[in-house]
Structure 1
Amino acid sequence: MNVGTWSTESFGNDAALDWFGELRKASSPLTFIEETLNRGWTDSVVAASAVLATLGGHNKIVVHPDVADWCAGKAAPPAALKQDALNAIQAILDDPEADTHDAWAENGEDDADYLAWLSTLRSVQDGLR
């Protein structure tokens, strides 16, 4: 597990929370999310995807309370953006060399934390469908 990471959930690390701080300041949050999906680090892509799922009404994903508050009452995201997020998460799952993917797998593919992290990614995907 990386320094600055305390859980396998979508906002269980400093990078995701830092990303959320930037999202809150963005003049166009959906554009910021789209840019993240296109060029972001794994932790940021997972966070952006979890935000989109939460905005879409999926409430089974564990997100930071500040994220849930920020999402409350906002419009659902466009289907195309949700599809971009699905594709981005799938790309992470398909690439064992992805930055965070590799870090979680360092203790082996049967490691409980690694399996929990993969489960989080799949839950986010389910929330985007």
Structure 2
Amino acid sequence: MQSTLNGISRVIDAARSPLLSFRRSANFDASLVFNKTNLTENTFMGAWGIKTFENDGALDWLGDFRDAPSEAKFRQTFAPQPPKGFLSKLFGGGSSASPPELDGEDVLAAAEILATLRGHPAVDAMEDLADLPDIKVTDEIVALAIQAIDSVMTSSDLKDCWEDTDDFESWVETVKDIRARLSRA
């Protein structure tokens, strides 16, 4: 009982800390962050905002892309493959016909980068996108990106988290803008 209370106390303290950046974690429950009844009036999160790169997951994806830019990175983000071999047995994959769930933060970050590489950056694009590595963007990758965005908007953990906030409509408009810029020739 005491360890449970300590765990809850740590989550509440973390939610109140403006300096803490939440990382993706199997034990992290986003509803603790977005459910306003769990936060004090003056609480704010430094790691979440309606813009694409106002979360740690998207910034991590950008950093990984800068370290190893490739079309394959986009493909793995937009159309992830289930684990094979030992990992398949370890994580229970292989028997399911459905692909792994998309990571909404990663999908939107990758789509934003693709739109920028195609010459259609956001009006308020962050400076870090000004000097992206130059890679060839194929129409196939763009089509995968649009499908992935549609999937995130239809059914995803990220969408579910945003639906519980007052900023949901603003977030939807941000995502629609990414999709529109990505769709331009």
TM tier, shorter chain? 0.7 to 0.9
| SS of aligned partner of 1:12 | coil
Question: What are the residue-to-residue correspondences of 1:42-121 with 2, within 5 Å?
Answer: 42-60=104-122, 62-70=124-132, 74-75=134-135, 77-95=137-155, 98-107=156-165, 111=166, 113-121=167-175
User: How high is the sequence identity, in percent, across the aligned residues?
Assistant: 30
Separation in 2, partners of 1:79, 1:61: 23
Separation in 1, partners of 2:159, 2:145: 16
| SS of aligned partner of 1:77 | coil
Q: 1:93 deviation in Å?
A: 1.2
Tell me, yes or no, if the aligned pair for 2:71 and 2:136 is still in contact at 8 Å: no
Q: Kindly provide the CA deviation profile for residues 3-51 of structure 1, in whole angstroms up to 9, marking residues without a partner as x.
A: 553321111111100111111111x521111111113410000000111
Q: Do structure 1's residue 30 and structure 2's residue 71 form an aligned pair?
A: yes
Tell me, yes or no, if the aligned pair for 2:112 and 2:121 is still in contact at 8 Å: no
> Structure 2 counterpart of 1:32, which letter?
K
Q: Kindly provide the CA deviation profile for residues 30-76 of structure 1, in whole angstroms up to 9, marking residues without a partner as x.
A: 111111111341000000011111101102354331123215xx255
Q: Which runs of 5+ in 2 are unaligned?
A: 1-32, 35-44, 81-101
Greater relative contact order (CA < 8 Å, ≥ 6 in sequence): 1
Separation in 2, partners of 1:94, 1:61: 25
Count residues in correspondence.
120
Q: Which runs of 5+ in 1 are unaligned?
A: none
Separation in 1, partners of 2:66, 2:154: 30
Query: More helix by proportion, 1 or 2?
Result: 1
Alpha-carbon distance change, 12 to 86 in structure 1, aligned in 2, over 3 angstroms = same
Paired position in structure 1 for 2:59: 17
Larger CA Rg, structure 1 vs 2: 2
Separation in 2, partners of 1:125, 1:33: 15
Separation in 1, partners of 2:142, 2:123: 15
Separation in 1, partners of 2:152, 2:123: 18
